[in-house]
Every structure is written in structure tokens, then in C-alpha cells.
């Protein structure tokens, strides 16, 4: 630099007269505030999390078309669906009918089953039927195969 240039800067220099923000504004570039920076960082972090989640899901489930799993089981007496009706029947008659219709054994019959009577139309498995009877009568009976 020549002395003329140093003299010019020395004569015209004023402390805090020039700010970087006003210089950027003169060029048409607005400074970015701190909260906008955090919003951008949060958006980038969100995109990274979503991408990582998508990659995990992709790796877990893959892209190949999966065939549904088919399980074939033979219907045992505990899985048979049948219709059974009771009209004001005492519990010993109900138990006897369940055992004969479904071919199962009912266990846990209360000490005095004559106190209980039942009117019911039911279609389902013996396990579900005994569970429904337990709910209705407040008993603790179970079903077992013969």
C-alpha cells in the first residue's frame, strides 16, 4: 500500500461506523438470525431421523413379497365350533351336555352345582363356552380333552 491509501483510511476511519450486517444488506444478502439457524438444524436432524427409521424398517421387512404363513391344524375337540342350547337347566345337566356334545371333560365344578341354573344359546368352542359360563355364574370351571 502506498502512503496515500493509508492516509485516506486513517482520515476516514470511524470506530463502529461499518458493520458486517449493513455491508451484507447493501449487497442484498440479509443476515440469518440465530433462531432460523436452529430451525434449519432441527429440520436437518428430523430428516436424518426419518431416513434412519426408514432404513431400519426397510432392513427389517425387506422388499421381497412375503407369502402369508398358512398353518394347518386338525380340529381337536377344544377347537370345534358347535351350537348348544340350555333353557333353565341346572349346572350338572349343562356340564353333562357340554361333555357329550363336544367330547371334552369339564373340571372345577363347584361343590354344590345344583344351586346354579342357566339359560343360554351358544355357538362356539367348548373353551369359550365354559369361559362364558364362568363369567355369568362366577365359577372357575375349565375344559380338558378326554
pLDDT digits (tens, 9 = 90+) for 19-45: 777 777 777 776 667 777 788 788 888
Q: Where are the domains of the chain?
A: 1-72, 82-145
Which pLDDT does position 105 carry in this prediction?
A: 92
Rounded to whole angstroms, the Cα distance separating 125 from 140 reads 17
Residue 121 · residue 85 · CB < 8 Å: yes
Residue-wise pLDDT for 79-131, tens only, equals 778 888 888 888 998 899 888 888 899 999 998 888 888 888 888 888 888 99
Rounded to whole angstroms, the Cα distance separating 76 from 109 reads 23
3 state SS of 37: helix
Which pLDDT does position 68 carry in this prediction?
A: 46
Q: Is the pLDDT of residue 51 over 70?
A: yes
Q: Is the pLDDT of residue 58 over 60?
A: yes
Which pLDDT does position 32 carry in this prediction?
A: 66
Residue 129 · residue 98 · CB < 8 Å: yes
Q: Which of 60-69, 113-122, 130-139 has the least mean pLDDT?
A: 60-69
Amino acid at each position: 500500500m502506498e502512503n496515500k491509501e493509508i492516509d485516506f483510511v486513517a482520515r476516514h476511519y470511524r470506530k463502529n461506523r461499518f458493520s458486517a450486517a449493513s455491508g451484507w444488506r447493501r449487497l442484498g444478502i440479509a443476515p440469518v438470525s440465530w433462531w432460523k439457524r436452529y430451525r434449519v438444524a432441527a429440520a436437518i436432524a428430523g430428516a436424518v431421523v426419518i431416513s434412519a427409521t426408514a432404513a431400519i424398517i426397510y432392513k427389517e421387512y425387506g422388499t421381497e413379497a412375503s407369502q402369508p404363513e398358512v398353518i394347518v391344524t386338525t380340529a381337536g375337540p377344544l377347537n370345534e365350533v358347535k351350537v348348544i342350547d340350555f333353557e333353565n337347566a341346572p349346572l350338572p345337566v349343562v356340564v353333562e351336555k357340554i361333555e357329550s356334545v363336544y367330547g371334552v371333560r369339564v373340571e372345577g365344578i363347584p361343590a354344590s352345582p345344583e344351586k346354579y341354573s342357566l339359560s343360554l344359546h351358544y355357538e362356539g368352542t367348548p373353551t369359550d363356552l365354559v369361559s362364558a359360563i364362568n363369567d355369568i355364574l362366577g365359577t372357575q370351571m375349565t375344559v380338558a380333552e378326554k
